[in-house]
């Protein structure tokens, strides 16, 4: 009997098709397809042993070893896990790395249990190729970049737009030294897959925040990055007190809530303090020792005030961090790139930049 397949087309990702990834957990952790759950045929150690057997003795010996490792109660437990997921997601597809032996075995075992589900033709590799090609194609689309000093709520503006592309969300990182989030940063593969998924339904102009190429642990794909560097810009200009309020919300209040939700109030508070303290230390070489020590003292005082119900106290170290470090650095890069910089089509406050971005490319 021929086991059914489905082609690796982007509509599956756009429609948020449920997917069963039968690769080993170590493979899944490096990068999965959007919408996938990891229910492996072999766990990491089993895969490792089979891989050694394949290299040393060939495919037949590797298959025989795999059948021995995943048999009896172990095999039945894997089948039950697939069945349980399919009971909740009966439309799910199965995939492995290339749509080959592992997904075929999973299909056959399910067939033997009375459940027929297709596997993804070409597997993870074929779908990843399609996702990466979507990013390459998007590099040819019109782009508008939203620029501005730290604290100008560029990400908030992006997320007000139907054609906004929030790179920081895909990276699980807010872009600066202080941008780490409680969740693990995205792997390069998962960042690219999340970006491609967003781009599938955006076939015209894209509005994207001005970013460094590296965001957290991820790098913007080169062709897409080069297109961003040439794209026209709008630049938000807002007063310092307005920007401080935004930073206070993003990097203090929202961050505390995110850590508390993930780790509980006490541990979350400690982890948040450690993150912000370490972020300041990482800027030490650029700040200089005297400035670093001053900001560390102010930060420590702010944490003490915050613990007693006054999170506004963080302005004491955030304000000089902006005016003495981030703002001059941003203006230095503007001056350095003045001759080769792409056109700036509008400079104004947040609301006017939002209005321009909404009308752009219509």
Range(s) of the domain holding residue 232: 143-359
The reply to whether 248 falls in a domain is yes
Token output for 61: 């010996």
pLDDT tens per residue, the chain (362 residues)? 678 999 999 999 999 999 999 999 999 999 999 999 999 999 999 999 998 998 999 888 888 988 899 999 999 999 999 999 999 999 999 999 998 889 999 999 999 999 999 999 999 999 999 999 999 999 999 999 999 999 999 999 999 999 999 999 999 888 777 778 888 889 999 999 999 999 999 999 999 999 889 998 899 999 999 999 999 999 999 999 999 999 999 889 999 999 999 999 999 999 999 999 999 999 888 899 999 999 999 999 999 999 999 999 999 999 999 999 999 988 888 877 776 778 999 999 999 999 999 999 76
Which SS3 state, helix, strand or coil, does residue 207 take? strand
Shared domain check, 160 and 98: no
Kindly list the catalytic residues: 96
Residue written as tokens 């397809």? 33
Shared domain check, 123 and 149: no
Q: What is the model's pLDDT at position 350?
A: 97
Of the chain, the end-to-end C-alpha distance in Å amounts to 53
What is the pTM assigned to this prediction? Answer: 0.92
Shared domain check, 325 and 210: yes
Q: What is the model's pLDDT at position 238?
A: 96
Q: What is the model's pLDDT at position 362?
A: 67
121-140 per-residue burial string, b: 16 or more CB within 10 A, e: under 16:
bbbbbbbbebbbebbeebbe
Shared domain check, 246 and 290: yes
The reply to whether 136 falls in a domain is no
Shared domain check, 321 and 176: yes
Q: What is the model's pLDDT at position 339?
A: 66
Shared domain check, 160 and 124: no
Shared domain check, 150 and 123: no
CATH, residue 94: 3.40.250.10
Number of domains in the chain: 2
Query: Counting beta carbons within 10 angstroms of the beta carbon of residue 155, is it exposed (0 to 12), middle (13 to 18) or buried (19 or more)?
Result: buried
Shared domain check, 199 and 91: no
Shared domain check, 217 and 333: yes
């Amino acid at each position: 009997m021929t086991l059914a397949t489905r082609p690796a087309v982007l509509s599956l990702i756009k429609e948020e098709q449920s997917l069963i990834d039968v690769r080993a957990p170590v493979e899944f952790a490096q990068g999965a397809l959007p919408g996938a759950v990891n229910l492996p045929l072999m766990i990491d150690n089993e895969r490792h042993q089979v891989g050694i057997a394949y290299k040393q003795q060939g495919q037949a010996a590797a298959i025989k070893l795999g059948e021995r490792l995943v048999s009896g109660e172990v095999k039945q437990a894997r089948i039950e896990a697939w069945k349980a997921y399919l009971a909740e997601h009966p439309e799910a597809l199965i995939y492995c790395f290339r749509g080959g032996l592992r997904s075929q075995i999973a299909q056959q075992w399910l067939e033997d249990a009375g459940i027929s589900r297709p596997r993804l033709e070409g597997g993870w590799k074929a779908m990843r190729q399609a996702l990466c090609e979507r990013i390459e194609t998007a590099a040819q689309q019109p782009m508008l970049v939203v620029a501005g000093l730290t604290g100008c709520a560029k990400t908030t503006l992006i997320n007000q737009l139907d054609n906004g592309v929030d790179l920081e969300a895909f990276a699980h990182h807010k872009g600066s030294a202080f941008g780490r989030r409680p969740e693990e940063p995205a792997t390069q593969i998962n960042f690219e897959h999340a970006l491609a998924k967003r781009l599938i339904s955006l076939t015209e102009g894209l509005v994207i925040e001005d970013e460094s190429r590296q965001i957290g642990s991820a790098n913007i794909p080169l062709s897409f990055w080069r297109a961003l560097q040439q794209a026209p810009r709008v630049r938000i200009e807002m007063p310092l007190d307005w920007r401080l309020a935004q930073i206070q919300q993003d990097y203090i209040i929202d961050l505390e809530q995110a850590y508390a939700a993930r780790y509980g109030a006490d541990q979350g508070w400690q982890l948040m303090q450690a993150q912000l303290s370490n972020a300041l230390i990482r800027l030490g070489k650029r700040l200089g020792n005297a400035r670093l020590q001053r900001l560390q003292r102010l930060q420590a005082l702010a944490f003490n005030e915050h613990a007693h119900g006054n999170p506004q106290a963080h302005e004491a170290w955030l304000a000089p961090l902006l005016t003495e470090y981030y703002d001059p650095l941003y203006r230095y890069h503007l001056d350095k790139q003045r001759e080769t910089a792409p056109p700036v089509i509008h400079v104004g406050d947040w609301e006017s930049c939002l209005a321009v971005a909404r009308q752009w490319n219509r």
